[in-house]
A and B are shown apart, each in its own frame.
Chain A
Amino acid sequence: MIEVSKLKKSYKLSKKQLAMIADRHARQKVKIAVNDLSFTVRPGTIFGLLGPNGAGKTTTLRCISTLLKPTDGTVRVMGIDAEEAPEKVRASIAFLTNDLKLDKHFTPLDTLRFFADLHRVPKAVTEERACALFDYFDITPFKDKKIGELSQGMMQKVAIAVSLIHDPPVIIFDEPTNGLDIITARKVTDYLKMLRDQGKTIIISTHIMTVAEKLCDEIAVILNGSLAASGTVASLLEQTGQKDLDDAFFEIYQAQNGGVS
């Protein structure tokens, strides 16, 4: 279970960052990345954060994974307050984002074993899970190659396997299919569905409508750091009177911004 309540995250901009804003009047010292955001992700569901680039999706996921401290509001993961016990929260999540990279010097197997150690997974269990994850994501033939020698897609699959090695109850994936070919992307989404069926709590962010439509049980549309709409795909279509999520999203975007920019 993930409970996000009135989450707010703002940054103070440096002078350099301020100077980069062309419009002098628009220059404000504090940038609000996420504002008053609340939602709950229940076990056995895949929750999608949908929004354009810069909407605040990654910031929200970073706050849930304890890498960022909320300016205001609370985040609870499996009933644990993320600010009070960040280590406990980190022990129960898998966090995947583009900013987090694996050391290219090591092999997938080395890396998997190392992170399993950090999560205190018993050795025998590690080997068993490594085998299963490598087999599922077709990493086995490459498990002893250096990560630096692998293709971009293979690296992404290794990163997914590494993030799941401790079999956590909560999964937080930021743009999980980014940069993957259609077959691999399908494998990842199928795996996420399988994890959902096992009762895991899953939250992903995406700006790809088809991914959200096919994968997510619930969706929160985030625009400019705030929640613009939420619900199941069907309910969002109903709310907006559109036939597909693409059009529904556009409708919500227009309503929020008062027209297409």
Chain B
Amino acid sequence: MSQALKSIIARELKRIFTDRRIVITLFLVPALSIGIIYSVMGYLSMNFIKDVEAHVSTYVISDAPESFKVFLTQNPDLTEGVELTYVSGETVDTYAPSIKGGSLDMFARFSDDFDTRIESVESASVYTYYNYGEDYSEASFHHFVNDVLDAYRNEILTARFENPNAIMAFKVEDLSETAETVNEDKASGKILSTIIPMLISIFLFAGAMSVVMDSIAGEKERGTLATLLVTPVKREAIAIGKMISHGIIATLSALSSIAGMLLTLGILMLFMPNELDIGVSLGYSALDIVYLIGLVIMLVGIYVGIISLLSALSKNVKEAGTYMTPVYMFIMVVSFLNMYAFNAEPIWKYAIPIYGQIVGLKEIFMYQITPVKFFVAFANAAVTWTVLVLWIRNLFNNEKVIFTSS
């Protein structure tokens, strides 16, 4: 590496790391804000689930047959946390306002002569009413239908047929877990591969954006870039030096965001160790880690190159900012594109800049990446990066670009 390149990289890094304001916004704020926001969101949603579970449901059941009442007395666990009121001859009209208002969770009415009709094997009905806009009401309804009535129906069927298998014919039982047919790693990888590549991509771009815009468009605006250009250093060395240092900074900033997510996980596990089971087991090899680092470097190189190019074309940071918004949206769309595709991707997709690297990241988590695919992604990144560096070099040589006021 040439002395000039080293000096430029060292200076760019020093510029960032000695500016307290930038260090805070680039490295601390992402970790803390993501940590705090996601922790609060996770805490609230868990509290919500716990709250619904802890809620005492109120049911009003009209014209309940004797057999049902007896069944519930024999199975007290089904009505645990439920306040049950039996009425007779009532319709929903009386209770609809209470359900709508939230003071009653559910109303059910058994059809007339329920027990008689069951005994004579005639059709009978249970009419249910609830407010699906209300969480407590909805949870009560599901419990009543799926747990209480289902068990009650089974009891009736058992009484009706000495052998319940006569009507059930057969059962389906999933024994995958006992037979070890599941690739735990891949199942976990599936969870990671939907979200992590997308987040890495977006965090990398966001991390690079502000630094690169300031270092190129900002330096142009402040007149410090021209001072650099009047030295004997080759334009490409200036472009590469800036891009390498910005790549390092963007990667660190993205790491800070990822640290924020891990912080969230840590906080939630600390507060709710029992509720939180992310079910992730990792079995990645050293080669997978090499692929991961390689693809992140490729992606960050392309992102920094694109932002550098747009910044070099802009008169000032403000103008660069206007160019950046649509590009950021584009990066987000590309990052989201393959979130839910789990089949192995064809090799030609690896030849598409940005998309190829994100697909590569995804397939690392899915244990589907191969050396050939990685090499294709690398080749596309190398070509893209070279084109961007040469383009930026030409821009740095272009007097109209450097002296925008001329």
Contacts and interface: CB of A to CB of B under 8 A. Distances in A.
Could you say which interface size class chain A belongs to? 20 to 34
A118 B231 CA distance: 7
Interface string B213-250: 00000010011101111111110000000000000000
- Which of B19, B224, B230, B406 counts the most chain A CB atoms within 10 A? B230
B230 A101 contact: no
Interface in A1-54: 11
Contacts of A62: 403
Contact of B3 (A102, A105, A106, A120): A120
B399 A119 contact: no
B229 to A, nearest CB: 7
Given A67-B230, A105-B18, A118 B4 contact: yes
Interface stretch (A88-96, A178-186, A220-228, A240-248): A88-96
B117 to A, nearest CB: 86
Interface in B377-406: 399, 402-403, 406
B11 interface: yes
Contact of A67 (B7, B14, B224, B402): B402
B120 to A, nearest CB: 91
A84 interface: no
A69 B233 CA distance: 17
B160 interface: no
B69 interface: no
B399 A69 contact: yes
Contacts of B228: 118
B153 interface: no
Nearest to A113: B7
A106 to B, nearest CB: 8
A149 to B, nearest CB: 14
A91 B232 CA distance: 5
Nearest to B405: A99
Given A87-B234, A88-B232, A118-B233, A67 B15 contact: no
B234 A95 contact: no
For the complex, would chain B's binding face be called helix, strand, loop or mixed by DSSP majority?
helix
Contacts of A87: 232-234
B7 A117 contact: yes
B226 A68 contact: no
A238 to B, nearest CB: 37
Nearest to B399: A68
Interface string A64-108: 011111000000000000000001101101010001111111100
A56 to B, nearest CB: 12
Given A101-B222, A115-B231, A117-B4, A11 B406 contact: yes
A191 interface: no
A136 interface: no
A114 interface: yes
Nearest to A12: B400
Contacts of A67: 226, 229-230, 399, 402-403
A87 B226 CA distance: 14
A39 B15 CA distance: 42
Nearest to B8: A118
A142 B7 CA distance: 23
Interface string B345-386: 000000000000000000000000000000000000000000
- Which of A65, A101, A110 counts the most chain B CB atoms within 10 A? A101
Contacts of A117: 3-4, 7
B10 to A, nearest CB: 8
Contacts of B18: 105
8 contacts: A67-B402, A69-B399, A87-B232, A87-B233, A101-B227, A103-B222, A118-B7, A118-B231
Interface of B: 3-4, 7-8, 11, 14-15, 18-19, 219, 222-224, 226-234, 399, 402-403, 406
Given A87-B232, A118-B8, 11 more contacts: A65-B230, A66-B230, A67-B399, A90-B231, A100-B230, A101-B222, A101-B223, A102-B224, A114-B11, A117-B4, A117-B7
